[in-house]
Structure 1
Amino acid sequence: MDRAGRTAAADELCVSAYAAAQAPETGCALVAVGGYGRGELAPYSDLDVVLVHEAAVGLGDAGERIWYPLWDSGAKLDHSVRSEQDVIEQADADVRVALGLLDVRHLAGDPNLTLRLRSSVLAHWRRTARSRLPALRELVAKRHALMGELAHLSVPDLKESEGGLRDATVLKALVATWLVDVPHVDLERSRRTLLDVRDALHGVAGRATDRVAPELWDDLADALDLEGADDAQRQVRQLGRRITHLSRLTWRRVDGVLARPSSGRRAELETVEPGVALSAGEVVLTRDARPADDPTLLLRAAAVAAERDLELAPATAARLVAECPALPEPWPPGARQALVRLLAAGTGLLPVWETLEETGALDAVLPEWERIRLLPHASAIHRFTVDRHVVETCREAARLIRGVARPDVLLVACLLHDIGKGGLTEHSVAGEPLARRIATRMGFDDDAVALVGLLVRHHLALVDTATTRDPADPATARQLADRLPDAEALSLLLALTEADARATAPQAWSSWRAGLVREVAARTATLLGEPATLLEGHQEVSVPREVRRRGAVSIQVEPAEGGARVTLLAPDRVGLLADAAALFALQRASVRSARAWSQDDIGVSVWDVADEHLDEAVLRNRFEAIVAGRVDPGARLRGDPSRIAPTVVVRPEASTRSTVIEVRTADRPGVVHQVCAALAALDLTVRSAHVDTLGPQAVDVFYVQEAHAGALSDTRAAEAAHGVREALS
């Protein structure tokens, strides 16, 4: 049964219940509101109804006589009984109630009362709109912050997420104010298609739900006659992005209306550059603009809008797409400069980019964009789809362009750094030739093209090296320096690395990770002939006298970003790091990253943990209990092994002084302790450890030596890897 059929059946049920209750035929009416009022019942939707009456009409127990047969039928009710005046007052007091009442629909009783109520609610909404819209916008913003974007969530909510059905309803309410308009065809088409998706979701889930759990995508695709889960995800994300775009555009227009006094005066055009003008807070074309004669006009208009944080009027963008000739190859300098201006705009980039996306302009400017459009990331830590992540990377890079010699190269590299995703080849490898081809088409010279390709090919090298290798080992910086031609390329790579990480998720660019990346960059800069001005850490720490003379332990706790930084110092010995790791595992303090090294026979370890309430005295007592054997961490931390087998690899090329063992496993309490304890049992010393937790995976690297004899032999390295693998399995 479709929505119209479900609504008709529910209407018949309500009419019958009203008649059986012998409710008054005048001065009283049963009305549908909300989604039921719009005739949009999903298979498991509630019936949202109100029994309205005039103040002078006594209902007695008529309400209960109506509700009971509806309950007996199995219908789920959201019901109330209100006087006509109560309804108006409630709508006036709560903007959410007002939104539901805008869709009042008559079911039974006095139709004149329903008509009067509907007219009163709508007139009141229009009369008070200017004063009420700020409160509505605040409600919408809070919901968006709480629920996230439909286009990017791994478990999207079709109703409450940004770009969902709730936003579509709000847009219809904004249109009802008569203050702004919305592209009706786009909105209604997207809204109805999203309603179809929700209907199908109810069907496959067998219950009322708006959240698409990961296991439902295949069944949902079947219900929607799509080829598979990927197609279903793409359709839902496309709908969410379109409604989000319409919502942002409309709210910006609302802001413009509220910011200026109401008058019937037509907005004046203000020319800002040839062919481009401002009008009513949007970027439009001048009256004498000739798009057919200027292939750069689209990008120039987009750049003006983004730089001024204004909307590129969708009608203007559509006209430019239709009338502007294709850009020649290579692009004229004006087009390339306009693209760089657009990418450098920072905050204003996203809404303009969305307009280019929704009007099809990107297909003409960057046809390769289709590869990554609405493509989900494989890693759960990413908060956006690949295309949106790329735009966010450009926005982050806009803050960094003053620190590099070639801002244009940096921004284009940011735009193209993930262009290779979506295939079977590793994306940085696949992306390099694509990036070179695109940069050539854009009109960059050979040196700039080579630099863009290099940055795309190695955009993960700096962060991977910094988080999985020892910065103090000369081989670490040498490996990176061998990939780069000069310090200018390193500077660009450092900026791209930061922008990429910040656009991924907050934890991808914590102060800890930033410090590691900058330290490796500084050491690499020295090898490339530049002074190490970026060096920020792995400096020697001051060792307290009681540690050096009496062999005591020192534990210092400092507040850090979202947690604490703990520095532990004690006389160095085999197993020290295992005991320190056990301390945090027993505290159930999540270790985000850690560094450990030996300094003049003192073992130093610095731990970045997600716990803001650590007490130095408690940590010291527990650590001493572990060392003394009064607490057995192995027994307390023993639990179910990961269902995914750990990967333990020896990296002989990573160091000339130690044997590097890289461990990748599902993150859980005690991983670092288990690894270090396994190595200590083999009488091996961990000279440096680099612990990094990103999303659900731990990537831990240990620089291991024989207790008194340097790097391990091949036999001992294999023995160590086997011992670690066995401890984790």
Structure 2
Amino acid sequence: MTAIERAERAAAADALCSAAYADCGGPDTGVALVAVGGYGRAELAPYSDLDVVLVHDDGVDLGALAEKIWYPLWDARANIDHSVRSVSEMVDAAGGDLRVALGLLDLRHLAGDPNLTLRVRTTMLAGWRRSARARLPDLHKMVETRHELMGELAHTSVPDLKEAAGGLRDATVLKALVATWLVDVSHVELERCRQSLLDIRDVLHTYAGRAADRIAPEAWEDLAPLLDLEDAAAVQVHVRELGRRITHLSRLTWRRVQAVLERPPKVSGVRRPSLTPVGRGIALASSEIVLDTRARPADDPLLLLRAAAAAAERDVVLAPATAARLVRECAPLPEPWPAEARRLLVLLLASGSGLLPVWETLDETGALDLILPEWERIRLLPHASAIHRFTVDRHVVETCIEASALIRNVARPDVLLVAALLHDIGKGGLTEHSVAGEPIARTVATRMGFPPDEAELIATLVRWHLMLSETATTRDPDDPATVALVASKLGTPEALSLLASLTEADAKAASAKAWSTWRAGLVRQLSRRTLAALVATAAGTSAPRIVEAELPVPAEVRADPAAVSITVEPNADGARVTLVSGDRVGLLADAAAMFAIQRTSVLAARAWVQERYGVSVWDVADDGLDPAVLRQRLAAIVDGRLDAGERLSRPQPARLEPSVVVRPEASQTATVLEVRMDDRPGVVHLVCAALARLDISVRSAHVSTLGPQAVDVFYMQETGAGALSDERAAAAAHGVREALSRTVTLPSRHRA
């Protein structure tokens, strides 16, 4: 699909509209049929609507002319979006609705009075330019609202070619901004990206057999041969690169619009922007960092980092022309970097929200190749996990932004920020990314001039950046084996402090779900226990036992252990439900069934035995739960009036076979069973019920849902005893695996 084919489709539509106007005797003066929007730009996709307006001079009576025009178009099976307006109504509509105003900027003559069309078009453009200063803030707000709703074309899992940030709608807005004469945009680059996106949309229409703007995950592979690209990955990179380029142009242009709006209008004459020096060789001009007249890029290898840090710190634009010139002319950084180069990099990474637009400019101009050539490994790389809202490269930048807010929590902010920059650098290969990233991080940190011990610390943080989150949510922090595992990998309180902050930044950058109140609490709890162990080891003493505050047992449960207490506390993530009753085999299974039958999504859970009582705390997505209803539901399950097993063991489609593994190394006092499978209602109930049938007690359970996968870990003990024997552990794993396998229907390629 090419621009020529789009023009041919537009020409065919023009002929159809012109014939309809002529056949119904449309007048030659005072009335005109015009195309607007995408049809006005002659950019019709295979299934695009024809946006047309029958415009007439004020006072002209059209009679039945409009209907006479529309009927033959309908008969020709054309999808038309039509309206009838007088000239004054056109002006009023454009003045009252920004969307209408933008569509009328592309008005094009089809039939009737060409002078009327020219007059309306001239009026629309003049009105747009005259009112631009007053209307652009509202337009910017409208654009930002759309971006928040639709996400970014470069990053969303189901990108919308038209409405997402960096899509065709943004390209149209950029053309409208240029039409104000207040700012300019790189026309060649914008048109290249815009035409390429139009080509992709044409192919998507043909593939879908209808008007379509969203690319579903299963469509990437099918679009590859239609776009003459190698595979699904190549299509994703192509689409996302175009989206990111338009997003960059859009952000840059809106920054420049803001700078123009903050200055008073010029009265007369040419005003040259003043240069305010902000560092050796660089200056601030019209809210952009540029080179000053004394700059000597060939003699100053730090000039690029200095310019980038200055722009990010001030949250202003790093002029793309400046960055491009530095790519061409700047002397290469010496290896290892001098201390000043590291300082400038840390200033750049610590700049918070100012980092993103500057980093995008460095990336788009090729300047990152001079600073971090390894960046190409993760550039536009999609995340495998659905929990991530961005591609890997953008996620890394967001992690640095989140880490910049945590630098006061650590003794070495520079190490934290560089580790945040490098934590996912190992992605994209066959090796587990934290393992692959460790030697890369060590090499990069050494090149940046970090001493060997600090380079090793950065490499350690990259190697274990997932450990705190994974361990806290899937292991019992009260178990000495859990603490010993974390302490053995880190070795020092300094490394633990840095890793705790990196874990928080990484999770917050992924998504809100990845750093819920529950998850954050578990990570901090594990960090406190590990810190106590590390300090004790350094002092040559035993680690003190940190006892978390026990939950008070309600009076009604103390009076009657068969009673059940359920409380619901709403929180930012939904609600926290606490259940207390006399401890018994099967209590946890019944509680899990209660939530599953209620169709309540469990985000995380923890259960333990306190004295002779069973306590479980559940974080759920529903903040409207009624404790009385939950108690009734649980009572019906316990009494047998509600058969939870029958309801929750029905087969359901699954992508992957359940994984059930015994982890003998994970605990000194219990046997740990780890279950991984598709997230679905009833998993915890099925596991606990299977164990209860074997008379195995669940001492504690740790439920974690991240994206489409649930990871549930159960600490098992013999009733009134300790860890299971090897035979009993094998029986437990077999029983759980059999219970879960009965509930899944696997695709043929997974069936044994």
Assess if the C-alpha contact under 8 Å between 1:472 and 1:538 holds in 2: no
CA–CA separation in structure 2 for the residues paired with 1:380 and 1:544: 40
What's 1:653 paired with?
A: 665
| 8 Å CA contact 1:23, 1:59 repeated in 2 | no
Per the alignment, residue 747 of structure 2 pairs with: none
Residue 564 of structure 2 corresponds to residue 553 of structure 1: yes
> Could you tell me which of 135, 138, 144 is aligned with 1:135?
138
| Distance (Å, rounded) in 2 between the aligned partners of 1:725 and 1:567 | 28
Matched, 1:502 2:505: no
Is 1:727 equivalent to 2:727 in the alignment?
no
Q: Tell me what 2:617 maps to.
A: 606
Structure 1 partner of 2:686: 674
CA contact (8 A) 1:270 1:277 kept: yes
Residue 59 of structure 2: SS of its match in structure 1?
coil
| Structure 1 position 544 matched with structure 2 position 551 | no
Measure how far apart 1:184 and its partner are: 1.1
Q: Which residue in the other structure is 1:636 paired with?
A: 647
Aligned residue type for 1:58: D
| Contact 1:156/1:212, CA 8 A, preserved across alignment | yes
User: Counterpart of 1:579 in structure 2: which amino acid?
Assistant: D
Displacement of 1:626 in angstroms is 2.0
Partner of 1:114: 117
CA distance, structure 2, for counterparts of residue 588 and residue 58 of structure 1: 61
AA in 2 matched with 1:91: A
- Answering whether residue 593 of structure 2 is matched by residue 582 of structure 1, we say yes
- Conserved in 2, the CA contact under 8 Å of 1:518 and 1:536? no
The one-letter code of the counterpart of 1:539 is A
Q: In structure 2, what is the Cα distance between the partners aligned to 1:240 and 1:578?
A: 48
From 429, 433, 437, the counterpart of 1:431: 437
Check if 1:244 corresponds to 2:255: no
* Partner SS, residue 360 of structure 1: coil
Written as runs of structure 1 = structure 2, the 5 A alignment for 1:456-535 is: 456-529=462-535
How far off is 1:546 after superposition?
2.3
Identity rate of aligned residues, in percent? 69
3-state SS of 1:217 partner: helix
Aligned residue number for residue 410 of structure 2: 404
Query: Do the aligned residues in 2 keep the contact of 1:518 with 1:534 (CA within 8 Å)?
Result: no
Aligned match of 2:744: none
Q: CA deviation at 1:482?
A: 0.7
Residue 64 in structure 1 maps to residue 67 in structure 2 = yes
1:515–1:537 contact (8 Å) kept in structure 2 = no
Measure the CA separation in 1 of the matches of 2:465 and 2:372: 21
Decide whether aligned partners of structure 1 residues 75 and 534 sit closer, same or farther in structure 2, where only a CA change above 3 A counts.
farther
| Cα deviation, residue 218, structure 1 | 1.9
Counterparts of 1:216 and 1:632, CA distance in 2: 41
Compared with structure 1, are the counterparts of its residues 45 and 226 closer, same or farther at alpha carbon in structure 2 (3 Å cutoff)?
A: same
Q: Contact 2:678–2:709 (CA<8 Å) still a contact in 1?
A: yes
The alpha-carbon deviation at position 718 of structure 1 amounts to 0.8
1:567 aligns with 2:578: yes
1:37-76 pair list within 5 angstroms:
37-76=40-79
Matched, 1:331 2:334: no
Measured in 2, the distance between the counterparts of 1:371 and 1:536 equals 43
Contact 1:25 1:110 in 2 (8 A): yes
Counterpart-to-counterpart distance in 2, 1:122 and 1:409: 54
Distance in structure 2 (CA, Å) of the matches to 1:536 and 1:207: 62
What per-residue deviation string (whole Å, max 9, x for no partner) do you get for residues 453-481 of structure 1?
10111111111110110000010000111
Matched, 1:618 2:629: yes
- Helix, strand or coil: the match of 1:2? helix
Deviation string 1:361-415 (CA, Å, 9 cap, x unpaired) is 0112111111100000011111000000000000000011111111111111110
Rounded to whole Å, the distance in 2 between the matches of 1:401 and 1:490 is 14
Judge conservation of contact 2:529–2:546 (CA < 8 Å) in 1. no
8 Å contact from structure 2 (residues 533, 544) kept in 1: no
Opposite residue 647 of structure 1, the aligned amino acid is S
DSSP 3-state at the match of 1:547: helix
Q: Determine the C-alpha separation between the residues in 1 that align with 2:455 and 2:322.
A: 32
Seen in structure 2, the aligned counterparts of structure 1 residues 140 and 534 have a Cα distance that, compared at 3 Å, is farther
Shift, 1:46, TM fit? 0.7
Query: Structure 1 stretch 184-193 or stretch 624-633: which is displaced more?
Result: 624-633
Q: Which amino acid aligns with 2:206?
A: G
Counterpart residue identity of residue 285, structure 2: S
Q: Which residue of 2 aligns with 1:445?
A: 451
1:631 deviates by 2.0
Q: In structure 1, what residue type is equivalent to 2:736?
A: V
How many residues are treated as equivalent by the alignment? Answer: 729
Query: Is 1:698 aligned with 2:710?
Result: yes
Aligned to 1:281: 287
Q: CA deviation at 1:257?
A: 1.2
* Superposition deviation, residue 332 in structure 1: 1.7
Mean alpha-carbon deviation: is it higher for 531-540 or for 511-520? 531-540
**2:29 and 2:490 mapped to 1: Cα distance?**
84
CA offsets per residue over residues 581-618 of structure 1, 9 Å max, x none?
11111221111000111111111111111111111222
Please give the secondary structure, in 1, of the residue aligned with 2:218. Answer: helix
Task: Tell me the secondary structure at the aligned position of residue 636 of structure 1.
Answer: helix
SS of the residue aligned with 1:106? Answer: strand
Residue-by-residue CA offset, 1:234-290 (whole Å, 9 max, x unaligned): 000000000001111111111111112112533211111111211111111112111
Structure 1 vs Structure 2 CA RMSD = 1.6
In 2, Cα distance between the equivalents of 1:536 and 1:691?
22
- Amino acid corresponding to residue 516 of structure 2 in structure 1: S
Matches within 5 A, 1:302-313: 302-313=308-319
Say if 2:98 is the partner of 1:95.
yes
SS in 2 for 1:467: helix
Letter in 2 for 1:677: A
The residue aligned with 1:85 is 88
Contact 2:154 2:239 in 1 (8 A): yes
From 17, 20, 41, give the equivalent of 2:20: 17
TM-score (norm 2): 0.95
Alpha-carbon spacing, 1:536–1:505, altered in 2? closer, same or farther (3 Å): farther
Could you tell me how far apart the structure 2 residues matched to 1:610 and 1:488 are? 35
Show the counterpart of 2:383.
377
Consecutive unaligned residues in structure 1, runs of 5 or more: none
CA distance in 2, matches of 1:359, 1:508: 32
Residue 207 of structure 1 aligns with an amino acid whose one-letter code is R
Paired residue secondary structure (2:676): strand
1:199 aligns with 2:217: no
Question: Compared with structure 1, are the counterparts of its residues 537 and 31 closer, same or farther at alpha carbon in structure 2 (3 Å cutoff)?
Answer: farther
- Alpha-carbon separation, structure 1, partners of 2:94 and 2:555: 71
Match of 1:189 among 192, 206, 220: 192
CA distance in 2, matches of 1:538, 1:202: 59
Alpha carbons of structure 1 residues 638 and 110: separation in structure 2 relative to 1, 3 Å: same
- Is the deviation greater in 642-651 or in 525-534? 525-534
Query: Who is 1:2 aligned against?
Result: 5
Question: Of 601, 607, 611, which aligns to 1:596?
Answer: 607
How far the C-alpha of 1:104 sits from its partner, in A, is: 0.7
Q: Is 1:665 matched with 2:677?
A: yes
Within 1, Cα distance between the matches of 2:680 and 2:338? 54
1:547 aligned partner, one-letter code: V
2:658–2:678: 8 Å Cα contact kept in structure 1?
yes
Contact 1:285 1:316 in 2 (8 A): yes
DSSP-derived class of the 1:665 partner: strand
Deviations 1:115-150 (A, max 9, x none): 101100000000001111111111111111111100
Distance in 2 between the 1:539 and 1:632 partners?
A: 36
Distance of 2:278 and 2:736 partners within structure 1: 65
Question: Of 363, 366, 370, which residue of structure 2 is paired with 1:364?
Answer: 370
CA shift at 1:108, angstroms?
A: 1.0
Q: Aligned letter for 1:237?
A: R
Q: Post-superposition shift, 1:219?
A: 2.3
What code does the residue aligned with 1:433 have? P
Question: C-alpha distance in 2, partners of 1:266/1:301?
Answer: 21
Secondary structure in structure 2 of the residue aligned to 1:214: coil
CA distance in 2, matches of 1:613, 1:533: 42
Task: Give the match's secondary structure for 1:529.
Answer: helix
**What displacement does 1:533 show?**
13
The letter of the residue matching 1:625 is: A
What's the CA shift for 1:545?
A: 2.6
